[in-house]
Amino acid sequence: MTRMTVSADPQGRLSDAWRFAVGTGRFELALRRDYQDSLALIQRDIGFRHIRGHGLLSDGVGVHRPYEYAGERRVHHSFTYVDQVVDAYLDLGIRPFVELGFMPSGLASGDQTVFWWRGNVTPPESHKEWADLVRATVAHLVDRYGIDEVRGWPIEVWNEPNLADFWAGADRDAYHHLYEVSAHAVKEVDASLQVGGPAISPGADGWLAPFAEFVTERQVPVDFVSRHAYTSGPARHVPFGTHQSLAPATDLLTQFAAPRRHLAGTALADLPVHITEFNSSYRPDNPIHDTAFHAAYLAPVLAAGGDLVDSFAYWTFSDMFEEAGIPTALFHGGFGLLTHRQIKKPTYHLYAFMARLGPEVLARGDDHLVTRHPDGRVAVLAWAPVDVTGRSPAPDRHPLALSIPLGSPATTSAFLLRSSVGEEAGNAWAAWAEMGRPRSPGVRQLDALREAAEPSRTHRALPVAAGRVEVDLTLSRHEVTLLELTPVVDETPPWWDADGLLGAEPGDDR
């Protein structure tokens, strides 16, 4: 096995695009206490900056309230639920990534809906009334939270309009009109607010150039470009679940790079690019999200994605995620915090490991990322390879040897703390299966699952010679591991004698 020598000179900075935003279920779920408890734990361990979900303007939030008075149609805009949700977000240190959608039924031109909670996906009956709704909503946010705060919240127009399920007829011209009306309404509140789109799904990059042409010709404001990225194939449904094939994880990085490739030479070429949804599967009922495989699969994407885009938001953070109906299983959709149970998954730990990396990148590889903190500590993220076909299972052992610069020339010892998740460690899904997949685990079973969900942790001292420490790793199948190396300053008092713990006198040969 060849040992890789890590340079002491920084190779660049580690982007934090991976935690700029995270996805969530429909907007009003944030009114639930268990949801807020889960988000609080995620913010403590990871710390996302923004959160994006559907349904801000759908009936469940109750913003658009038409009524008649004196024989005339009028509209009242109510922000009771909006305020409660945004207040809760800000209290937890996370800010909205605002998605304008879906259509309130009292303004919709048709009755086509998506999801069991019936988000309306038809154009507005009146674009003027839609503009009034957008303007009123954004103005309320500015009035309540201040322009300095809200100008930092990206505002995205709609969700996946290239899909007929999300926009009636997948009518591109109708979307362009909606975008134009919405963007102008946002800018009428304040020109410094960020607005963008077109929030397309994978396979719809043909929408990007026409979008750029439209906004340029019409002089429509656009501050960022958004797209989604998934690698799952056609859905094979089973009772209360979905199975799908996956493309290699490198396909996600290819998708991340697509907007800038397609917009090269246009007026939008240099705008920020936000991947406002990404994952392996878009299905909340695909159990692949719960596995150790999934963490190892996504590790290289988190390590490299920030080199390609300004943000990429995992879809979604929580199992309280009801696109396919109310969850029927213990494990469902998100990367951790199973409703109120706070049972973490391997992908959750991958994100928590990322949060402990340093800002300086010392080395990158197909299976590792070496970083350094300002105080000299070194943190290494390493992962075992995966096989997406299922026909050639990944090896049970994956070796990695590194020579890492650490400390001053006088440093002689390093403290190594290793945290790992894999098929056996930090894997509540595996433990649940070994329990017989109980539908409603009892108290003791839940306690056992919480214990099983924690990473394994080991520690040891390693010698440092000539400013370097040699690390030899053997990763188990689908393992993701975090190594934290700290130079040791030995403060052992001269009178310390380990043998004395059992009463021996110095020099006693017992």
402 and 409 in contact (C-beta within 8 Å)?
Answer: no
Burial of 465 (0-12, 13-18, 19+ CB in 10 A): exposed
Encode burial over 231-256: b for 16+ CB neighbours within 10 A, e otherwise.
bbeebeeeeebbbbebbebebbbebb
Distance CA 404, CA 469 (A): 5
Q: Which residue's entry shows tokens 């349904």?
A: 55
Q: Supply 474's token pair.
A: 């053997």
Backbone angles phi, psi at 64, to 5 degrees: -90, 115
Helix (H, G, I), strand (E, B) or coil at 390: coil
Distance CA 316, CA 302 (A): 15
Longest dimension (CA), the chain: 104
Name 471's bridge partners: 402
The arrangement of strands across the sheet holding 4-5 comes to 4-5, 397-405, 468-476, 456-465, 413-421, 480-487, 378-383, 368-372, 360-365, 12-13
Q: What is the dihedral of CA 190, 191, 192, 197, to 10 degrees?
A: 110
- Active-site residue 180, yes or no? no
Strands 224-230 and 195-200: parallel
Q: Which of 99, 160, 180, 479 is catalytic?
A: 160
Q: Which of 277, 323, 423, 479 is catalytic?
A: 277
Name which of 77, 74, 213 is nearest 134 in CA terms: 77
User: Would you give the DSSP letter of residue 246?
Assistant: B
- Active-site residue 160, yes or no? yes
Distance CA 313, CA 210 (A): 25
Distance CA 135, CA 203 (A): 32
Encode burial over 140-162: b for 16+ CB neighbours within 10 A, e otherwise.
bbbeebeeeebeebbbbbbbbbb
Distance CA 124, CA 411 (A): 68
Residues in the chain: 510
Strands 360-365 and 368-372: antiparallel
Which residues are part of the catalytic machinery? Answer: 160, 277
